[in-house]
Amino acid sequence: MSLSQFIVLFVVVCQSYSVEILNDKEKFLYFGYGSNLLEKRIHINNPTATFFSPAKLSGYRLDFNIFSEYWNGAAATIVEDSDSHVWGALWTLHIADMSSLDKQEGVDTNFYYPKNVTVVTPSGHVYIARTYIETINPPKVPSNEIPPERQPSDTYMQVIIIGALESSLPTEYINFLRTFSTNGKLGSQSIRQSLGYPFNVS
Ligand SMILES: *[C@@H]1O[C@H](CO)[C@@H](O)[C@H](O)[C@H]1NC(C)=O
């Protein structure tokens, strides 16, 4: 290996392993992979959330498990899975909003628990972000064979897909999102009202 090749390799290795931190100590990064891909949805409870970047989480798969009355179907979760990855939206939130986010995710009712995960942006920047995982992991099945009691509602899946488009997630991942079976139901009137259902998607 020549010196210049070595330098290129060295730079590439450093870039892929150095975790970057936000300059602003008043803020934290949040990785949303479900309905919080959609700005209008995250702003219902967390008005200061600011979109930062799409990001990829390796070693986890997207799945659906615990029933949510709000969505009228199973809510999204991520499960450790070495063969998989999950795309999501990185948001910056003010530290003071961590409690509103925790409340939305039902940390107090044992729906989700918070976890720091390492994510990578499309340009190769590595960040540690807070995310939420359901307290009960579902078993692995193909996305189009999720049993009825674990299927997301039509409204919820629409919000996730519109949010994925809005957050500029890769097209092949958005196509994967479309493969999940849904339960044919609308979300609660409360969420439909908050989001202005029916959604006008171009
Ligand atoms: C994530 O990391 C931050 C900074 O080190 C720490 O304050 C926080 O408690 C961690 N959160 C979780 C859920 O582990």
Each residue's pLDDT tens digit, 163-182: 999 999 999 999 999 999 99
> Is the separation of the CB atoms in 50 and 44 below 8 Å?
no
CA distance 63 to 133: 10
Q: Does the pLDDT at position 126 exceed 60? A: yes
Task: Please give the distance, rounded to the nearest whole angstrom, from the Cα atom of residue 116 to the centre of ligand 1.
Answer: 6
- Number of domains comprising the chain: 1
Phi, psi dihedrals of residue 154, rounded to the nearest 5°: -60, -45
Average pLDDT over residues 72-79: 98
- Residue 200 falls inside a structural domain: no
Average pLDDT value for the chain: 93
**pTM, full prediction:** 0.91
Give nearest CA residue, ligand 1 atom 1. Answer: 116
Q: Does the pLDDT at position 10 exceed 70? A: no
- Residue 60 falls inside a structural domain: yes
- Residue 201 falls inside a structural domain: no
Q: Which domain holds residue 125?
A: 3-193
- Residue 187 falls inside a structural domain: yes
- Residue 198 falls inside a structural domain: no
- Residue 70 falls inside a structural domain: yes
Relative to beta strand 126-134, strand 19-20 is parallel
CA distance 53 to 32: 11
- Residue 52 falls inside a structural domain: yes
- Residue 43 falls inside a structural domain: yes
CATH classification of the domain holding 144: 3.10.490.10
Q: Which of 27, 113, 116, 127, when mutated, tests ligand 1's pocket best, judged by the most ligand atoms within 8 Å of its CB? A: 116
